[in-house]
Amino acid sequence: MKRQSIQNALAIGIGAALTVAMATVDIAGQQPAAQGQGQAPAPAAQGQGQGQGRAAGGGRGGGNNQGRGGRGAPQGPPAAATPRWPDGKPILGSVPGKPVDGWGAGVTTLPQGMLDQVPFQPWARAAYDIRQIDQFEPHTRCKASGVSRQFSTPYGTEFVEVPDLQRMYILDNGGPNSYRIIYLDGRQFPEKIEPTNYGYSIGHWDGDTLVVETRGLNEKFWLDTRGTPHTKQLKFTERFTRLNMETLEYQATIDDPGAYTRPWTTTKFQLRRRAGEEPFEYICQQYNQGPELMLGTQESIDNSKFYVP
């Protein structure tokens, strides 16, 4: 019943957002350049070569997964300015009245470029090291994986802002095909939060940056494809800055006394816009090549069997 309510609310919210937004918003190009943000170079061309594969949710994904297209492509003209809502806040999702956009994967491993500076507790570093060998990430078994792990799936994410409801949804197009809610209504965290895979996310604007703090995360997922560990004590803060039409900057601060000796902040990652790409239906459970890992002993994959019957 609760799930039904959430689904209904989501559907209503998206519909309301699109209706209101189409009627009121100024689209990109009608707004001045982003305040305080220089024009970043245009992103790489949005290649279309990557098929909609069968593997579950991205797995280990390679070194610097930038979504479809990505690195190495020739640079084009400067990107358009950051699109904005009528109140001047940046639009992080699709621009109303324009084709729906998504964001490509941009985070491979949170310690990228700073592994030796990450203040792991000894057990956490050992767990991280083992996970470089052990590939059985929960996400590859179709487990919903919150916060930064949402930005590692090869099929990207879609941000759905619903100003009327003062919240935003981040839709996973991959993995278990689920979503995270970010409350933007100024609420406080509940005193007790039952830990879940996506946790409880509250956001606020700091200039042109959306700052989102998430608490109440359980320990059933990895923070990224490479196995950065955490515990239930984690407070995860994300900073989303749309540098221009094509680029979303992402940075996270990990405050988890259960796994680290002090809080630490990642480098800045960049997510690239997947222009005009509607999310498609991706059912992880259906396409998973290792269904025996979804439950049970999680010891091995039977490679002779490709599909769940």
Partner 1 sequence: MLKRLATAVCLLAAVAAFVATPRAQEGYPMTGTWYGDYGTGAQKKDVTFVMQWDGSKASGTMNPGPGSQPITSVTMDIIPGKAGGRSLNNPDAEAAVPPVFNVKIVVGDLTLEGKMMNPVGGNRSIVGTYTKGAEKGPFQIKHL
Q: Which is it for strands 247-255 and 200-206: parallel, antiparallel or unpaired?
A: unpaired
**Closest listed residue to residue 268, CA positions, set 241, 234, 244:** 241
Residue 64's alpha-carbon distances to 70, 81, 128, 134, in angstroms, are 9, 25, 18, 20
**Cα gap 149→225, rounded to integer Å:** 7
Our finding on whether 57 is near partner 1 (CB under 8 A) is no
Only segment of 12-20, 23-31, 222-230, 246-254 that touches partner 1 (CB under 8 A): 222-230
Name which position in 12, 15, 88, 134 contacts partner 1 (CB under 8 A): 134
Name which position in 103, 221, 250, 264 contacts partner 1 (CB under 8 A): 221
Name which position in 51, 296, 304, 309 contacts partner 1 (CB under 8 A): 296
**Structure tokens that stand for 307 in this block:** 């599909």
Only segment of 186-194, 227-235, 270-278, 279-287 that touches partner 1 (CB under 8 A): 227-235
Only segment of 38-46, 77-85, 155-163, 218-226 that touches partner 1 (CB under 8 A): 218-226
**134 dihedral zone (left: phi>0; alpha: psi -120 to 50; beta):** beta
Residue whose structure tokens are 């470089």: 132
Q: Which amino acid is present at 111?
A: P
Our finding on whether 113 is near partner 1 (CB under 8 A) is no
Name which position in 72, 74, 122, 186 contacts partner 1 (CB under 8 A): 122
Nearer to partner 1, 215 or 230 (CB): 230
Nearer to partner 1, 39 or 231 (CB): 231
Our finding on whether 1 is near partner 1 (CB under 8 A) is no
The torsion defined by the Cα of 179, 130, 270 and 151, in degrees rounded to 10, comes to -10
Our finding on whether 132 is near partner 1 (CB under 8 A) is yes
Q: Which amino acid is present at 32?
A: P
Our finding on whether 129 is near partner 1 (CB under 8 A) is yes
Q: Which is it for strands 200-206 and 179-183: parallel, antiparallel or unpaired?
A: parallel
Q: Which is it for strands 200-206 and 209-215: parallel, antiparallel or unpaired?
A: antiparallel
Nearer to partner 1, 73 or 118 (CB): 118
Our finding on whether 138 is near partner 1 (CB under 8 A) is yes
- Residues lying near partner 1 in the complex (CB under 8 A): 122-123, 125-127, 129-134, 136, 138, 143, 219-222, 227, 229-233, 257-259, 295-299
